[in-house]
Amino acid sequence: MAQHFSLAACDVVGFDLDHTLCRYNLPESAPLIYNSFAQFLVKEKGYDKELLTVTPEHWDFCCKGLALDLEEGNFIKLADDGTVLRASHGTKMMAPEQLAEEFGRKEWKYFMSDIGMACRSGKYYFYDNYFDLPGALLCARVVDSLTKQNNGQKAFDFWKDIVAGIQHNYRMSAFKENCGIYFPEIKRDPGRYLHSCPESVKKWLWQLKNAGKILLLITSSHSDYCRLLCQHILGNDFADLFDIVITNALKPGFFSHLPSQRPFRTLENDEEQEALPSLDKPGWYSQGNAVHLYELLKKMTGKPEPKVVYFGDSMHSDIFPARHYSNWETVLILEELRGDRNGKPEESEPLEKKGKYEGQKAKPLNSLSKKWGSFFIDSISGLKNTEDSLVYTWSCRRISTYSTIAIPSIEAIAELPLDYKFTRFSSNNSKTAGYYPNPPVVLSNDETLTNK
């Protein structure tokens, strides 16, 4: 494989929407998501009212890349070889002795080789994006509450109530019906929760379009919510930018399912219509699959193997499936890189918004968690008379395995020429080669990383 990657060499440029083209104001959106679930659990399912009170300190628990054992209520941070680096029961972190007793130096019980490792199962749940993270904090606090109520309860059965909360707040009709907490609040004041795309990004999108690239938008959000987001961040003419818009894509199934399992559907007034046997022309569709999409892209480009790149923020829904099932190039939007150079995240909102919204803020979810440490690496204690050694996290290894490059935001590359040559992640390059504009400080500063 070539050492470099260039957008100029791509025929098709695809984008996820949430946390990719559309950046959220995380200190505002995180409490809204948390509250949408907590209110449901307390009012509809009878959970402890303490769940409704969140302090700024609580948000330090949030860290991407954690797994929740749904039966035991344990949160797990994995090394790249599947061993457990850190763990908590609910929000209570396990001491090294407890960690050793509980997990030892062996693979976590649900760990499988990367290909077989699902991120969603009946036994565990991986938290890998900013929509998920407020739910991680809520679930941890639910475990605290149930453990306290039931004198050290060992088995937990709260997940069905979390799923019911998802159904209540985020089902397909929730936006139109104005039900739940999340959608009505976003509709009421989108500027509080969403960052408009900078002019540099808008110009860059038109530059891609004018260079003859086919532009795709593939989002798991429903069409009515997608339209609200796009109008707010890109303007009312956003539809002129994209040749194909696919909503309710139900990723990762969009990439992994057979066409017969996940046909495309047309939309009428945001309602899904009949299933289509194939995809014959550009337009706005719902659901669908990557196989039928690629057949259309062949027709549109006149090429037997058009080259596609896809930008997304979720390893589970975007990057892994697009690379593994469709063999697309992938650009990971990794906000943990934002402002990493000076040890703290960039300002998460413009200065003119400071002080506009009252109340206790969540810490930016892309900043370092004191409880969980770095998203990229962690240390394992050495044996007696030996030093601790640093190892890659499972999340970090997946980045270098399945991403072509990783960037903090689209804005970070918007002013580069389209033929700019990025150094890609590959087994021939260093583990930091694919990060642009800079690798995470913790990776570039340390030479002592080991592969266990």
Query: Which pLDDT tens digits describe the chain residue by residue (452 residues)?
Result: 678 999 999 999 999 999 999 999 999 999 999 999 999 999 999 999 999 999 989 999 999 999 999 999 999 999 999 999 999 999 999 999 999 999 988 899 988 766 555 566 789 999 999 999 999 999 999 999 999 988 766 778 899 999 999 999 998 889 999 989 999 999 999 999 999 999 999 999 999 999 999 999 999 999 999 999 999 999 999 999 999 999 999 999 999 999 999 999 999 999 999 999 999 999 999 999 999 999 999 999 999 999 999 999 999 999 999 999 999 999 999 999 985 544 444 444 444 444 444 445 556 777 789 999 999 999 876 444 445 688 999 999 999 999 999 999 999 999 999 999 999 998 777 778 999 999 998 887 655 565 54
Catalytic residues: 16, 18
**Cα-flanking dihedrals φ and ψ of residue 439, to 5°?**
-75, 160
pLDDT confidence of residue 146: 93
Distance CA 360, CA 107 (A): 39
Residue ranges, CATH 3.40.50.1000, the chain? 1-23+195-337+368-451
pLDDT confidence of residue 347: 41
Residue matched to tokens 């689209």: 410
pLDDT confidence of residue 354: 42
Taking residue 151's Cβ as centre, other Cβ atoms within 10 Å add up to 6
Distance CA 323, CA 378 (A): 27
Tell me the CATH architecture of domain 1-23+195-337+368-451: 3-Layer(aba) Sandwich (3.40)
pLDDT confidence of residue 358: 42
Distance CA 102, CA 97 (A): 9
pTM value is 0.92
**Alpha carbon of 210 to those of 8, 82, 114, 213, 234: distances in Å?**
12, 46, 39, 7, 17
pLDDT confidence of residue 367: 79
Distance CA 134, CA 139 (A): 9
